[in-house]
Structure 1
C-alpha cells in the first residue's frame, strides 16, 4: 500500500512564534525586575539618572528590501534607535520590539530577524523586555529603546552657541552609496549594519554643548540642530570625512560630495563645542576608538551655509523626508 505524504505542518500561531522569536534575544539585564511574559515589563530606573526613550521603525520597501538578509533587518531595527540614545549621551538599557508581517511569512525569516536584533542587543548590552506581534501588509520592526544619562548631562540639540566648533564622527555618505548596484562590501555593510556611536556619545557628555545623530542627511540634520539652538552653521564641505571606499565609488558622480552631504543613514554624531574643549573631545574620541573631525563652526543667524574648497558657497542638498518621498531602494 503506497505511503501517504505527510501533511504539511501548519504555520506557528502567535504564542509559538513569540517563543521562537524570543529564543534569540537577551532578556535579562540591569534593572530588569520582570521581562517578557506578563502584561508589562517591570524596570528599575538607575538612581540619579534620567531615562532617555526613543522609538523608530524599519519598514520593508522603505528602509530595506530583498537585498537585506533577515539578520540585517533585525540589526538595523535596533541600531537606528541606539544611535538616538548615543546622540543624547545615554547608555542603552532596554528595548521593546513590535513585529508585524504578512500572512505566509516563513517563520525562518522572522527567526533571522530575531537573530540580527539579538546580536545587536548583545553587542551593546541591552535587554529586550517585551514586545508585540501583528499581521500587516509588509514586514516591519518597530523598536522602542530606553537608556539612561546622568541627570543634567544629556546632550540636547538646543545647546549650540555662536563661536562653537562643529565636530563629526566617522565618515559620511557610505550608507547612501551602499544602496547602489554593485556597491562594495564596505559600503553595503554601512547601509545594512550601522554602528551606533554609543561610547563616543557618552564620552562627549559634559564636553559638547549640543549633538545630533545623522539619519536623514548631514546638512538636513545639522539644520535641525541649528533650528533648536537658534543659530547658524558654516559647514566646510572639504572637511567632511569620507572613507576610501566612498571616494572610489563617488569619483564618477556629478557631485562627488553629494551623498556625503545629503545621503543619510550614516548614524554618525555631529556635536557643537567651545574651541577650548576640542582637545578634550579628541581625547574622548580616541578612547572611544572613533575618528572625530572638525567640519565647521557655529555663528549667529539661521540655517546652514556650505563652503566649497575654494571658499565659495555651494547649494545645500536635500535630505530625506519620510512623508514626501521613499528612499531609493
Structure 2
C-alpha cells in the first residue's frame, strides 16, 4: 500500500476562487483518514487533487514518497468510489468488476480469479449475472467497492459513497467498509459531511472549513478537545452549547464556554441547592433519554433528562454541570484555550 503526503496543497479556480488553501497532511500507510466539513469546504476538491482529477495550483503531492503532481490518475495507482456508483448499466456485475482489469490488459484467467475473490469478499457471488438496474442501492454500492478492490491499488479514495442510501443501509454499509479496511489494512481516504461516518470509521479525521484544515486528530480527541468553536460545533448531536460565562455564574467577557448537552443535567427537583435555574422551552423525547431546551439568562441551552421526563413549556427546572466538562474558547478568535 502507500503513504500520502500533501504539502501546502492549493487549488484556485478561474476568477481567483480559492477552494483549497494550503493543506498540509501526512497519511500513513494503511491508515483510514476522513475529510469532513460542510458543503463547499474543499474536502471533495482535496480528494480530486489526490486522485489527479483536478490539477494543483500550488504545493506538492506525494504518494509513497513519489511526487505525483504531473501524473495522470491512472499513473497514480489510486481507485475511487463515487457517490453515484458510476456503474456501466449495460454490463452485468461480473463485467463491471472485470472492466478495469480488461482495460489494463490482464490475462483472462487472472481477471476471472480476481473477480471471484472480490465477489466472495463482498457477498456478490449470487449477483454476478445481474445488471445494475436489478440491484438495490446497497448492492450497487458493493459493486462499486468491488470494482475499486479488484484493481488492488495503492490508495482507495471514497467521495461520499453512502450519501444516496437510506439510514438503515448507511449504517450497514458503514460496518462493511470498516470491516473491509480491517481486512485489507489498505490506505483509505474518505470524504463525508456526516460526522457519524467520520467518527465511526476513521483512525483520524481532518476537519475542513472554507478550504482550510481546522484540526486533524483521532475522533475522540476531536470531540473531547476541539481546537476551535467550529470543530466543537461540527461534532456532536445535539450541538454543543456555546455559553457566555455569566449565564453559568462565571466571570470573563473575553471567552465563550462550550458545554456538551450530555454534560448538562436536568435535576429531579427545581429546588436543588446551588443549581442553575431556568425555564423549559422545548422537550424532545428520544426514548432512553430526553433533550430539554432550557432558557437561562436569555440564552437557550440543551440539557439531558431521563426518558420519562415530563414538563410543560415555561416550567422552572434546575440544571447541574461539572466545571471540568467546560471547554473554553477565545471570544474573538474562537480558538480553544484552557479553562481558568
TM range (shorter): under 0.3
Of the two, which has the highest radius of gyration?
Answer: 2
TM-score by length of 1: 0.21
In terms of fraction of residues, the more strand-rich structure is 2
TM-score by length of 2: 0.21
